[in-house]
Chain A
């Protein structure tokens, strides 16, 4: 079957690439577009390592058909920083030692960013709820929760 051109916006920049029929967004982003920040952890929508946003809503890229992002706005961890200016969440993850192996971090940051965008002052329980689809095997989650809460309680996003 023929490949299909897909035009979309990635982290604010227009992009276009060819997708195989049935190809998922995770593989499309990584292999065909070259954004390696979403990670493969399960391919079944259970680990959250491939979390991205599509039109501002979080999705698991391994469960999204690449062709469905035609004309839409995709966000990944590569786009969290504005140039050299890191997102406050990225700073907070660094300050709180909220990553060890770093494999879940990109997806975790996307889930956290989406939470703060819709709810700038979440409670601890709301933070827990927001990242409950993102598995981490290293940290025991506590530093991640602390990092997100520190941004929520502190500065608004610049």
Chain B
């Protein structure tokens, strides 16, 4: 028995959002009389952090502390229309809608403050700590709470905003496939190291080195969550998971977690992540959506690494020990390549 080490590389890009049918999201933002803001959406947080990233975007745009913003989603009686959380569209589409809604609400807030300070709203800035003051004259200041109270009880203004972001429908040419699939792409590259046991056919991913370009890491820890968890899922797709182990046969389909295999906490490979940020011109603060593309480079990188280790090409996922052993048998044993 010999364990062979190999390295494999892959690079990918990923389209952000969908184009079919038009791709809209809406957001509503309003303030309580004490200057605390509620963002009402119909977006879904299924772990990717939708509530959190829209909260940060709203706070940034409104110019108020994060503690003064709460995101309420998804209640169809109060949240306006949104397509949903899929296609890496949430951050990009909803983020933009939240910016627009927040800009509108901010403008009213500044107008209310301007009336109290007896200045022009265009001369006001927010400090992000709950204060609004005259540009260049920080002593002429009012809190966002005081501005909101004045708006509600003295001036009769509604500190609120509506936002929609729509990527219009892209027609697709039947003859050539000409289309505008999406407005921006995220990028990734991945190099994995594997060990292949030529007696058992087992493949172990021992190291992952990656670079992900995400537009802007709106929250670096949320981005890391996606990249680390997504790359784990990619590793799982590459070497473990299938609902039909002998596809296209429907036999032996797993029905529980004893037979549907995924790597556990004892099967992890160290994953060294580099994050690059090239802002998308139409992304919210340049952000793209890292949540889907993170898994994609791992699958080909693993099969390429297996080839590098033992010379067996696995062109059908997942890379099971059976497929590796059959490949080794067909070629009369391991043929390490070590090309990388």
Q: Can you pick out 27 interface pairs between chain A and chain B where the beta carbons lie within 8 Å of each other?
A: A42-B256, A44-B256, A46-B256, A46-B257, A46-B258, A47-B257, A97-B222, A100-B47, A100-B48, A100-B229, A101-B45, A102-B47, A127-B265, A128-B264, A128-B266, A129-B266, A132-B264, A132-B266, A135-B257, A135-B262, A137-B262, A139-B232, A140-B232, A141-B232, A142-B228, A142-B271, A144-B265
Cβ contact within 8 Å between B268 and A100 = no
Chain A contacts of B256 at CB under 8 A? 42, 44, 46
Chain A contacts of B230 at CB under 8 A? 140
Within B10-44, the residues touching A (CB, 8 Å) are none
Cβ contact within 8 Å between A97 and B262 = no
For A, the interface residue count at a CB cutoff of 8 angstroms equals 24
Contacts A128-B266, A132-B264, A145-B265; is A140 near B228 (CB within 8 Å)? Answer: yes
Cβ contact within 8 Å between A132 and B47 = no
Chain B contacts of A138 at CB under 8 A? 47, 225, 229
Q: Tell me the minimal C-beta distance from A73 to chain B in angstroms.
A: 28
**In the complex, A114 Cα to B45 Cα: how many Å?**
30
**In the complex, A139 Cα to B271 Cα: how many Å?**
13
B49 adjacent to chain A (CB < 8 Å): yes
**In the complex, A72 Cα to B314 Cα: how many Å?**
54
Chain B contacts of A122 at CB under 8 A? none
Chain A facing B: main interface SS: loop
Which residues does A use to contact B, with CB under 8 Å? 42, 44, 46-47, 97, 100-102, 125, 127-129, 131-132, 135, 137-145
B250 adjacent to chain A (CB < 8 Å): no
Cβ contact within 8 Å between A42 and B46 = no
- Kindly report which residue of chain A lies nearest to residue B46, judged by CB atoms: A101
Q: Tell me the minimal C-beta distance from B9 to chain A in angstroms.
A: 21
B224 adjacent to chain A (CB < 8 Å): yes
Q: Tell me the minimal C-beta distance from A93 to chain B in angstroms.
A: 12
Chain A contacts of B258 at CB under 8 A? 44, 46
**In the complex, A145 Cα to B265 Cα: how many Å?**
8
**In the complex, A71 Cα to B222 Cα: how many Å?**
44
Chain A contacts of B49 at CB under 8 A? 100
Chain B contacts of A145 at CB under 8 A? 265
Chain B contacts of A140 at CB under 8 A? 228-233, 268, 271
B256-297 interface mask toward A, CB cutoff 8 Å, 1 = contact, 0 = none? 111000101110100100000000000000000000000000
